[in-house]
Amino acid sequence: MIAVSYHDKVNVLQGIDLASAGPFDRADWFALLAQYSESPPLIALASDGKAVLALPLVAANHRLEPLLNWYSFTWRPLMSDGAAQERLAVALARDLRRRTHRVTLWPLPDEDGSASLLERAFRDGGWRVGRQMCDSNHVLPVKGRSYAEYLASRPGPLRTTLKRRSRYVEIKIIEYFDDNAWIIYDEIYRKSWKPTEGNPALLRAFAEAEGKAGRLRLGIARHEGRPVAAQFWTVDGGTAWIHKLAHLEDTRHLSAGTSLTAALFEYVIDRDRVSLVDFGTGDDPYKRDWMDEVRPRYRLDCHNPANPRSWPHIVRAAVQRLVSGGEHG
């Protein structure tokens, strides 16, 4: 028998032995998101007494959507190991029809089957489901290579830049949280070309927690003593996650950001021995110089056909399918 329950406290996730591992799957991450969220979380749980499946959600924009923010690379169901995942997902999707007319989920990976699992579950649970690609994720499978072997496979112009420019900067990488180093990172980011962040206070709290756990990799590049580039990475579960990187525009000619990126790649490949480097979401052209593969991220838009509020959306989706030749929807 499957029991479905709903909770407004993320501490219910603490007892789940999650099959997935990574910074955006941990209960502590969702606790941090809830702390800085304007709306209370809605943790939807399905359990058969042995296996558990959880969807960390929030009510926003007249629907239920993922509990995530600007910094989340991905969002997916939190599942304990077991063969019951499909049944749990269907039961939870079916029960959610009592609570809302619409559920929109993103950015879902599918290399682990998450997007397809939820698409099937919501369809089988009585929802009309539209699926579309919403973002890209650039990754580097290290495949046992040393940094030198990896570097030899990079594009010629990148290797030339590193050879000519790396001598102009001094680089330091730390694995602990340091107030002065974070102030330097924050100042460089604010003066860089990067857009305004979603919540710098949340990011700092995340960095502090990662530092305490030994997962932080914070790099700073200096030119003649002046900080000119900074990057925030973490290492977790055999993966290096590139969260933030920035450099000062008036020092662009030094290619300090490129040299710092290379130094961090060397650090996580040769010292941390990671098997994967994840460059997050976004299809920025420069990522292709560093990474070997691109993975899609998906959005599921689920409408309850029994609720009149969903009917206009369902009609529009049907029209779009006709126009586009009957793709997902």
Kindly tell me the sign of the dihedral angle through the C-alpha atoms of 121, 124, 129, 132: positive
Judged on CB neighbours under 10 Å (0-12, 13-18, 19+), 40 is: middle
Radius of gyration (C-alpha) of the chain in whole angstroms:
22
pLDDT given at position 21? 67
CATH topology (fold) of 144-274:
Aminopeptidase (3.40.630)
Biggest alpha carbon–alpha carbon distance for the chain:
67
* Cβ-proximal residues to 328 (8 Å cutoff; 6+ apart), any chain: 129, 130, 131, 132
pLDDT given at position 20? 56
pLDDT tens for the chain, 329 residues long, are: 999 999 999 999 986 755 556 899 999 999 999 999 989 999 999 999 889 999 999 999 999 999 999 899 999 999 887 678 999 999 999 999 999 999 999 999 999 999 999 999 999 999 999 999 999 999 999 999 999 999 999 999 999 999 999 999 999 999 999 999 999 999 999 888 776 777 889 999 999 999 999 999 999 999 999 999 999 999 998 999 999 999 998 998 999 999 999 999 999 999 999 999 999 999 888 999 999 999 999 999 999 998 778 888 888 887 777 787 654 44
Looking at 2.70.98, 1.20.120, 3.40.630, 3.10.450, the CATH number of the domain 3-136+298-324 comes to 3.40.630
Q: Calculate ∠ Cα 126-128-134, nearest 5°.
A: 130
Amino acid at 310: S
pLDDT given at position 329? 45
Phi and psi at residue 63, in whole multiples of 5°?
-165, 175
DSSP letter, residue 167:
G
Domain ranges across the chain: 3-136+298-324, 144-274
Do 3-136+298-324 and 144-274 have matching folds?
Answer: yes
Q: Are strands 239-247 and 276-281 parallel, antiparallel or unpaired?
A: parallel
For residues 202 and 280, give the distance between their C-alpha atoms in angstroms, rounded to a whole number.
18
